[in-house]
A and B are shown apart, each in its own frame.
Chain A
Amino acid sequence: MKTWKELTPGCVVTEPGGSTKFKTGSWRTFRPRWIPENCIQCLFCWIYCPDMAIKVKDGKREEFDYDFCKGCGICARECPGKKGQKAIVMEEEGK
């Protein structure tokens, strides 16, 4: 850890993209679980996630990025799923 002598006055962050180093996933009490067989790849979850915790590659949804997912549950709420079956469910952490 840095001492006070090594800091930039005014807590100015002079290096871009620093937020990727600050992992916020540990704040989570509920964990979203993806059920790929119910997923229609609409990417609503990707749009609605207030962080960037839904990984997308070549236009396709991939696993959650649990380093940054705070478990807010927005993705699970917005997920239309397939035939009334949600493709995201929230489960309590540690259960």
Chain B
Amino acid sequence: MAKVVAVTGNEAVANALRQVEPDVCAAYPITPQTDLMQRFSAFVSDGKVKTELILVESEHSAMSACVGAAAGGGRVVTATSSQGLALMWEILFIAAGMHLPIIMPVVNRALSAPLNIHGDHSDAMGARDSGWIQLWSENAQEAYDNTIQAFRIGEAPEVRLPVMVCMDGFIISHSIERVEYLEDEEVKKFVGEYRPVNPLLDVEHPVSYGPLILPDLYMEYKRLQHEIIWNRVKPVVLQVAEEFYKLSGRRYGLFEAYRLDDAEIAMVILNSAAGTAKDVVDDMRNRGIRAGLLKPRLFRPFPYEEVSQALRHLKAVAVLDRADSFGAYGPLFTEIASSLYPYKDRPVLINKIYGLGGRDFMPEDAEKVFLELQDIATTGKVKSIKQYITVRE
């Protein structure tokens, strides 16, 4: 039986971690993740979970401790944001290269400089090539659901990879929403008992982690890593989503397609701003404009094929990035462009950079984008491919 509560995103994710009760958690506080880990540490000190909590001196150490604990054979979690994720960067690649299924909620926040504590996607986008699976969440419910599913996805025997669960800093992490919790036993049963593979602590079967691999084998290992994330993750994500649907009644896929089938123009947008934009899609529809929306959920591996099938028929698409790739198009835009490029009939694409450092994204901002798309769809003319919006010119 589901329990309906009013909680923040951080609270919901901390509760998901409590319900899973991992073996080890190593973490360091950083805004806006602090409150998530503070809540989880309270569960540890109140004896609600038997998790071994390792308090470390930096995020570099947090991820290093996670790698050690996961190689040791434990089910391991941490959480971070922004500069913390940036400081983990070196070890992110090690966690993925060693195929250690560490689960990490990332409470998305802007990167310095200038110093800013508010939500944008620069942190996780910067880590997109680290070999981690990335799930993105629109609201507290999705962050909670994705966290629980992340364990099953990352730990699947054919996958065994670390997973980031992204949600927007403050907008989701600190706002109270209606969330449906599963029962503790349901979550425990859903994630199942952890089965380590080649654990270091199995002294009967000694293994070594982290050997030196020179040019004679390095590429073969990378080829294998590519194969696993490229071909094996998607089916697992869909299968886990199906099982999760049976348990919770909430459906998940590789992305959410909102009123896309009969749309002529659409927006591609991640996380919380998608909620705002969906409202505006409805508004556009009421005004006779055939607008739709695609909200990616699985960003790594990126489902190029499926995304292109969902977008090909459109006349014009705006890809909205809440992170910039300085000197290039936005990170989400380049993925959407890559997925559509193989097709001769494809929509006109534009890229908007919005909401950096927590700048608000309002319905009227979404409306302007849809009206521009409408214009492009009729005239075929694009003023500029990449443009900053929600900015003072």
Q: Map CB proximity to A onto B377-390 as digits: 1 under 8 Å, 0 otherwise.
A: 00000000000000
**A77 to B44 alpha-carbon distance, docked (Å):** 53
Chain A residues lying within 8 Å of B98, measured Cβ to Cβ, are: 10-12
Q: Which of A4, A5, A13, A14 counts the most B-chain CB atoms under 10 A from its CB?
A: A4
Instruction: List B residues at the A interface (Cβ < 8 Å).
Output: 97-100, 160, 198, 205-211, 213, 216-217, 220-221, 223-225, 227-228
Are A13 and B208 in contact, with the CB atoms below 8 A? yes
Are A4 and B227 in contact, with the CB atoms below 8 A? yes
Chain B residues lying within 8 Å of A13, measured Cβ to Cβ, are: 207-209, 211
Beyond A10-B97, A12-B98, A13-B207, list 13 extra A-B contacts (CB 8 Å).
A4-B221, A4-B223, A5-B224, A7-B220, A7-B221, A9-B99, A9-B160, A11-B97, A11-B209, A11-B211, A12-B198, A12-B208, A12-B209
Are A14 and B198 in contact, with the CB atoms below 8 A? yes
Are B213 and A11 in contact, with the CB atoms below 8 A? yes
Chain B residues lying within 8 Å of A3, measured Cβ to Cβ, are: 220
Chain A residues lying within 8 Å of B221, measured Cβ to Cβ, are: 4, 7, 11
**A16 to B207 alpha-carbon distance, docked (Å):** 6
**A9 to B227 alpha-carbon distance, docked (Å):** 10
- Distance from B11 Cβ to chain A, minimum over Cβ atoms (Å): 34
- Distance from A13 Cβ to chain B, minimum over Cβ atoms (Å): 4
Looking at the complex, which one of A4, A16, A18 makes contact with B224 (CB distance below 8 Å)? A4
A2 at the B interface (CB under 8 A):
yes
**A84 to B349 alpha-carbon distance, docked (Å):** 81
**A1 to B221 alpha-carbon distance, docked (Å):** 13
Residue contacts A-B, CB under 8 angstroms, 6 given: A1-B216, A9-B99, A9-B224, A10-B209, A12-B207, A18-B208
Chain A's closest residue to B213 (CB) is A11
Chain B's closest residue to A16 (CB) is B206
Q: Map CB proximity to B onto A56-93 as digits: 1 under 8 Å, 0 otherwise.
A: 00000000000000000000000000000000000000
- Distance from B163 Cβ to chain A, minimum over Cβ atoms (Å): 15
Contacts A4-B227, A9-B225, A9-B228: A14 and B220 contacting too (C-beta < 8 A)? Answer: no
Chain A residues lying within 8 Å of B209, measured Cβ to Cβ, are: 10-13
Contacts A4-B227, A16-B206, A18-B208: A10 and B99 contacting too (C-beta < 8 A)? Answer: yes
Chain A's closest residue to B225 (CB) is A9
Chain A residues lying within 8 Å of B99, measured Cβ to Cβ, are: 9-10
Chain B's closest residue to A14 (CB) is B207
